[in-house]
Structure 1
Amino acid sequence: MGLQLKNPIMTASGPWAGDAVGIQRCIDAGAAAVITETISLEAKQRISPRLFCDDDGLFNTMLYSNMHLEEWEEELSTIDRKDAKLICSIWGSTASEIAYLSKKVEHMGADAIEISISAPIGSRNLRMLRHSCDIQEFMGAAVKAVDIPVMVKLSYEAASSPNFLRELELSGIRAVSAIDALKGLAGVDIENQRSLMPTYGGYTGQHIRPVSLATTAALHQYTPLQVVSSGGVLDHETAIEFLMLGATAVQLASAILCSGYGIITEIVRNLEHWLTEHGYSSVDTLRGTALRSLRAFEDIVPRSLCASVNEKCRRTECLICAQSCLQDAVYLDEAGTIAIDPDRCDGCGLCVERCPHGLLTLEWR
């Protein structure tokens, strides 16, 4: 990424870094780098309400900052950066706009730039996802315009497109952050035939972590790009998951909205403690260590396994294992305990995964 970070915890672009006060709070809480709310040439008026919840997920209907470029210049001049890095998120509708904004934020003192090229709401730069030939023009404009590192925030779709990623590399981009929020709706009021939200929103939080984890691993395995991961980082353990799959750093977003700025301090402190407790001399020594356990589907060797009950289970009020078995291999024996019919069990593993008491395992036949 071209930046020396004191720790791998960054804050993503968002309203928690929408002005000098918010940015300062991120820095004071211990973030190694803070990414501003997205800066554009057009200040965007905010709608209300703009945040919606769904269990542990969040939906937002925000595009970019409601401050003008001149206001941002004044805000950034008041920040005490200490030993943190300041990264400016920018959005432009043309290559010339991106080049102009890149130069402006570099002049304002940005240590790096993150280009926002997609959003789950609105129609920002959709043509780049349709015409990959424009990627080099747009991203190359920023790379050529400044002398500071430039990374690109990727949607899941962009991060999964080999052609898109190849064009990014050719443009001179060496780092990406992934993934951006997913497009979603909180639900429908079926009694009144109305959507719970007035428009599509960006879905974030722990429920998108499996998608983000897979994207991190794939980007690290199949491209030379450095990856800064976002999407479901809620604590130090989830941060470690991303780091073990090759992430250079991680970005916090929904965690700050739900738990406040103090979550940054908590994650940084707990990460340092975990590394010491587990004998890691630095983050670098654990980065990518889980990738060796990940292989292509075609390379997995089939194994003949069958579910087995570790100890007698008479929890007849539960029966989650039996309800999950399409083969009817799980049953109650004459003694009223859970049993497995090995002739019916095909070793899918669902009963093992769903047992809330950890009483089932998969074993060789």
Structure 2
Amino acid sequence: MKNTISQALKISEVSESKIGQVDFENLNFGKIFTDHMFVCDYVNGEWQTPEIVPYGPLTMEPSARVFHYGQAVFEGMKAYKDDNGDTFLFRPDENFKRINISAERLAIPEFPEDYFFEGLNALLKLDNEWIKPGYGNSLYIRPFVIATQASVSASEADEYKFMIICSPAQSYYSGDVSVLVAEKFSRSANGGFGYAKAAGNYAGQFYPTKLAQEQGYQQVIWTDANTHEYMEEAGTMNVFFRVNDTLLTAPVSDRILDGVTRKSLITIAEKEGIKVDVRPVKVSEIVEAAKNGSLKEVFGAGTAAVVSPVKAFGYKGEHYEIEKQENSYASYFKKALMDIQYNKAEDTFSWRYKV
């Protein structure tokens, strides 16, 4: 059954913006939020009239099922402003598709496409002044869905809340990072929901990451749950390895997120004639490549940081430094992607979406 908007989007604006209180030169990622948020409730088997309201706290029952059974999924995307003051999104259709793929895996009802794009466009136009121009500046956009039904019975909920909140952003990571290759802990397993952007996937990462940080590393490279022999993701990002002049990255699966940045980098690499080998990547081959000097680069790829270079990794008590490349793939890919996002280069892939 096709969902259509039967009533107009309701908009309630703030009486006074708080934007004047924000220091845009010193932003901590994800801690400052814009004046408004998008909200839509699922009640009685259907999504209700969507609204844009002032950003603020929610009132919920302590028995709301999201607190007890973790029915929550989210997305991460960005809005960019070019030198002419025009605002763009980057492949938002992919984020919309993926949040519904995630929702399906957690038995959450599909959100209508027209609600999503009408609400998102209206929200970005209303809070347009929060999107600052300048290379590296952006507005981080967080769509999410939570189960709100008041009940502690162990089954999927009948009531949900879909929301979009926005946060002005600069760079997510500062500098190159060191990572620890997981030997015991796993991010996800076959048959699970590692491919979904479910809240619980990330909660389970915090403790192993904390242990890694105590050893002097910033993030964890996750390995497969069965044998811990294969590299899968780095922190909250997809991961690439450059061995000589070939890029290696794991294929998407039940365990690995189908990252928008990941698939975009693969497309750019193939267009530029860079060999990309999408296959299971053994820890042992990366360790050997680090030892013999053929490992040129390791970098993460994701919406928040775009491309995050890895300067070293640890495994089985050994530490491996990665020599910095003068003309790195990581810097090339980051610039190529950001030039498209900020409307500084021709978009031959039709990835830009003008708001």
Measured against the shorter chain, the TM-score band is under 0.3
The structure, 1 or 2, with the larger RCO (C-alpha pairs under 8 Å, 6+ apart) is: 2
| TM-score, normalisation: structure 2 | 0.24
Higher strand share: 2
Q: Which has the larger radius of gyration?
A: 1
